[in-house]
Amino acid sequence: MPDKLLQLQPKKSSCREISFEAYTASLVARADKYMASPFVISTIGGGGKTTTLLDLFLRYDNERLVTLTSTTAMFAPLYCEKEFARVADNRAIPDALKTVTLGDPPTSSGVWFQHPFEKVEGKFKGIDKDIFDAHIRALRMSNDPLFVEKMKDETKSDRVPLFLCEADGSKRKPFKAHAPHEPVIPETTDLTLILFGLSGLGKKCTEDVVHRSDLFADAIRIKEGDVITFDNLLNLIKSGMFLKGIPPTSRVAVIFHQTDTLPEDMRSNRHLHTWAKATLDAPGIDAVFFRGKDPTNDHKIATYMGLAHDRPSRPLFSTILLAAGTSSRMSGYNKLLLPFGEEVVIVHTLRRIFASPCRDIVIVTGHDADAICDVIEPVIQKEAPPDACITVIYNPRYLEGQGTSVASAVAALDESSIACFCVQGDQPLVSPGAMRTLTEKATHDAILVSCRKDSSRASPVLFGKDYFDELAALEGDVGGRQVMRRHPDALQLIKTGGSDLIYEDVDTKERYERLIKIRL
């Protein structure tokens, strides 16, 4: 068993009271610090989606480039008078919400749709999900801090983009159930909001109150016409219906909107806290909020009660960072310790992984282990994301080849990990955006392979959990390629976009010198 040289564990997860406004602000700020923009928020479910999106738009429009859109269909803000009035705070509708950009996305804050419906005034067809995802991924690759530095002389807005997407329709009813083709959530979503309109509580399960009331009733085993209770909503959440289609990289929050419509005794802090805790105990839910008009503050939309887990409940992704080799092709140099900008190569690679969706990172050392640890430990202690687990191990068999390093790292992965990357320590340009794209498409039985513009295979590769046992049994110097050869049908080549530079390594002196020139 390899020696464990360092392990940094995040604090144990707990839940805390927090407002919806503070929760979203904390997630956006964290993304600004650790990841390439833009941040994407998608809404699904029943009553309150448009109101919530308009509220977010008005809150962030002064500081960000905010785009409001849909992947299904949506009324333009000018035709959502009631929804806008709920959040407007006596403000006139801003110019950014008055016009609609069709086809291409707006270049400033605004509304983005595909085309208007011919027979429904003010209603527009949304953007195709694949087109939306391709646009977001292209922005994330172009906003990569490593390459943004190279574009300092170009005119570039200081306002960071934020995308708000209505990914579901409910016919403006407080509740709904999903048909097989719903919802249409972009893979690039960072936060998915599931909404329920509490004005529907105590009413009968009919099409007047519930969009697709038959499916709603079947999912929670009641009859159409039965009165809807909060326990029914809780059972619907626990059924997993509303987790369908949510990408593995997205956090999930439930919003019970229209809390002001509840009887006063049901709006007490104690009562709402009990409901919130029961909702937060449902699998896959990160946060829950009760929101509505605040009668004590000019009826502005406010959070009555909010609870959130400190650590996200979404699937866990891992990275194996290989830093054990002898750099045999570098003529006496350890390539991982060569200068690269203001850091050495291995530190630059590690920082790039910190910006990826991976919260479980295992670093394998061998050759020059003490020197490697000396340069990475300060970075781990000071810069690791707060919810990350970082483990540094020593592979005593490193001279036998890379396979033994991969095998030793798999044994140290978190048991709940659903997929892991194998990243070479000499890839200082490895792309967090490319890693994000692969995790968005991850499944337990797939091997996702990054590929260049010419479709040739590259690194990193994301192995689903089904292949962990084979990775743990590797020998020799081939590494994960052995597993890939055994399972050609499981391989999926993924073009992640951006420059092919993100796949380069410093395996030789010539490559190193080339990348140094490009970096400078």
Closest CA to 202 of 273, 258, 285, 269: 258
Residue 364 pLDDT > 90, yes or no? yes
- CA–CA distance, 351 with 355 (Å, rounded to integer): 7
Q: Do 233 and 196 touch, CB atoms closer than 8 A? A: yes
Q: Do 202 and 221 touch, CB atoms closer than 8 A? A: no
CB atoms within 10 A of CB 501: 14
- CA–CA distance, 135 with 130 (Å, rounded to integer): 9
Query: 52-61, 66-75, 85-94 — which is least confidently predicted?
Result: 85-94
Residue 155 pLDDT > 60, yes or no? no
Q: Is 195 helix (H, G, I), strand (E, B) or coil?
A: strand
- CA–CA distance, 215 with 225 (Å, rounded to integer): 13
User: For residue 146, what pLDDT is reported?
Assistant: 66
User: Quick one: pLDDT band at residue 62, thresholds 50, 70, 90?
Assistant: confident
User: Quick one: pLDDT band at residue 414, thresholds 50, 70, 90?
Assistant: very high
- Residue 138, CA atoms < 13 Å, CB-side half-sphere: 7
Q: Do 446 and 464 touch, CB atoms closer than 8 A? A: yes
Residue 148 pLDDT > 60, yes or no? no
> What is the DSSP-derived secondary structure letter of residue 198?
G
* Beta strands at 115-116 and 123-125: parallel, antiparallel or unpaired: antiparallel
Tell me the two tokens of residue 205.
Answer: 């399960």
Residue range 123-146, pLDDT digits in tens = 999 999 999 999 999 999 888 876
Residue 244 CB partners (closer than 8 Å, separation 6+)? 178, 183
> What is the DSSP-derived secondary structure letter of residue 216?
H
The second-level CATH assignment, the architecture, of 315-519 is Alpha-Beta Complex (3.90)
User: For residue 1, what pLDDT is reported?
Assistant: 52
pTM for the complete prediction? 0.93
Residue 156 pLDDT > 50, yes or no? no
Cross-strand partners of 211: 176
Q: Where are the domains of the chain?
A: 15-309, 315-519
- CA–CA distance, 279 with 313 (Å, rounded to integer): 13
User: For residue 150, what pLDDT is reported?
Assistant: 47
Q: Is 456 helix (H, G, I), strand (E, B) or coil?
A: coil
- The pLDDT of 357-378, averaged and rounded, is 95
- CA–CA distance, 283 with 260 (Å, rounded to integer): 27
- CA–CA distance, 22 with 240 (Å, rounded to integer): 26
- CA–CA distance, 112 with 103 (Å, rounded to integer): 7
User: For residue 17, what pLDDT is reported?
Assistant: 95
- CA–CA distance, 389 with 380 (Å, rounded to integer): 10
Q: What is the mean pLDDT of the chain?
A: 90
- The pLDDT of 245-272, averaged and rounded, is 93
User: For residue 361, what pLDDT is reported?
Assistant: 97
User: For residue 19, what pLDDT is reported?
Assistant: 96
Residue 4 pLDDT > 80, yes or no? no
Tell me the two tokens of residue 398.
Answer: 């490193």
- The pLDDT of 27-32, averaged and rounded, is 91
Q: Is 388 helix (H, G, I), strand (E, B) or coil?
A: coil
Q: Do 36 and 356 touch, CB atoms closer than 8 A? A: no
- The pLDDT of 164-185, averaged and rounded, is 93
Residue range 300-358, pLDDT digits in tens = 889 999 999 988 777 899 999 999 998 877 777 899 999 998 899 999 999 999 999 99
Residue 451 pLDDT > 70, yes or no? yes
> What is the DSSP-derived secondary structure letter of residue 233?
H
Tell me the two tokens of residue 272.
Answer: 């709402």
User: For residue 449, what pLDDT is reported?
Assistant: 94
Torsions phi, psi of 431, nearest 5? -95, 120
CB atoms within 10 A of CB 308: 26
- CA–CA distance, 491 with 469 (Å, rounded to integer): 17
- Say how many Å lie between the first and final Cα of the chain, rounded: 41
405 or 341: whose pLDDT is higher? 405
User: For residue 519, what pLDDT is reported?
Assistant: 65
Place of tokens 């080799």: 325
Residue 131 CB partners (closer than 8 Å, separation 6+)? none
User: Quick one: pLDDT band at residue 520, thresholds 50, 70, 90?
Assistant: low
Cross-strand partners of 166: 43, 70
User: Quick one: pLDDT band at residue 186, thresholds 50, 70, 90?
Assistant: very high
Tell me the two tokens of residue 309.
Answer: 């887990």
Percent of the chain residues past pLDDT 70, beyond the cut: 96
Residue 370 pLDDT > 80, yes or no? yes
Closest CA to 161 of 76, 67, 72, 250: 67
Place of tokens 């270049």: 107
